[in-house]
């Protein structure tokens, strides 16, 4: 998975998304810290990203963009609250990533069928696959 700079960019995007509703809840911080750890980014560096954003680096592959969209979807639902601004922002991020608008909309609709709105990765992938065939 990409360079260290790409990982910092991913985390910066997620931090910005967590703050769309003008706050970061403890559950969001803990989720982001786990993502950072999974990406090989230490807590000190992660905490630094809370103050200073890393430069944006566009993800190269469609698979990387879908994985990042899924991370953002999980982040949106980790606090078990959804604000219209979060849903709208996630939709727009997906568009900027080059993901199909119909697939994004379908994911945002289908997620409500699952406990805590956590759409399984295979379901998410199948939705995107259907729009690339």
Each residue of 24-76: pLDDT tens digit?
Answer: 899 999 999 999 999 999 999 999 999 999 989 988 899 999 999 999 999 99
Query: For residues 8 and 44, what is the distance between their CA atoms, to the nearest angstrom?
Result: 12
**CA–CA distance, 45 with 70 (Å, rounded to integer):** 23
Element (H, E) at 128: helix 121-130
Cα–Cα distance measured from residue 33 to residue 124, given in angstroms and rounded to the nearest whole number: 23
Q: Mean pLDDT over residues 102-123, rounded? A: 92
What is the share, in percent, of the chain residues with pLDDT greater than 70?
98
What's the Cα-to-Cα distance from 55 to each of 7, 10, 65, 127, rounded to whole Å? Answer: 11, 10, 17, 30
Residue 100 token pair:
């199909």
Q: What is the pLDDT of residue 1?
A: 56
Q: C-alpha angle 122/125/126, rounded to 5°? A: 85
Query: Which residue's structure tokens are 């680096």?
Result: 57
Residues 110-114: contacts with CB within 8 Å, 24+ apart? 111/73, 111/77
């Amino acid at each position: 998975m990409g360079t260290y700079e790409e990982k910092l960019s991913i985390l910066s995007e997620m931090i910005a998304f967590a703050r769309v509703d003008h706050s970061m809840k403890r559950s969001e911080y803990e989720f982001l810290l786990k993502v950072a750890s999974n990406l090989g980014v230490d807590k000190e560096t992660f905490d630094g990203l809370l103050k200073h954003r890393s430069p944006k680096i566009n993800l190269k592959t469609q698979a990387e963009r879908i994985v990042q969209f899924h991370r953002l979807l999980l982040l949106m639902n980790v606090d078990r609250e959804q604000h219209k601004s979060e849903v709208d922002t996630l939709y727009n991020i997906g568009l900027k990533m080059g993901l199909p608008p119909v697939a994004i909309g379908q994911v945002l609709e289908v997620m409500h069928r699952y406990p805590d709105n956590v759409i399984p990765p295979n379901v998410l992938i199948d939705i995107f696959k259907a729009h690339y065939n």
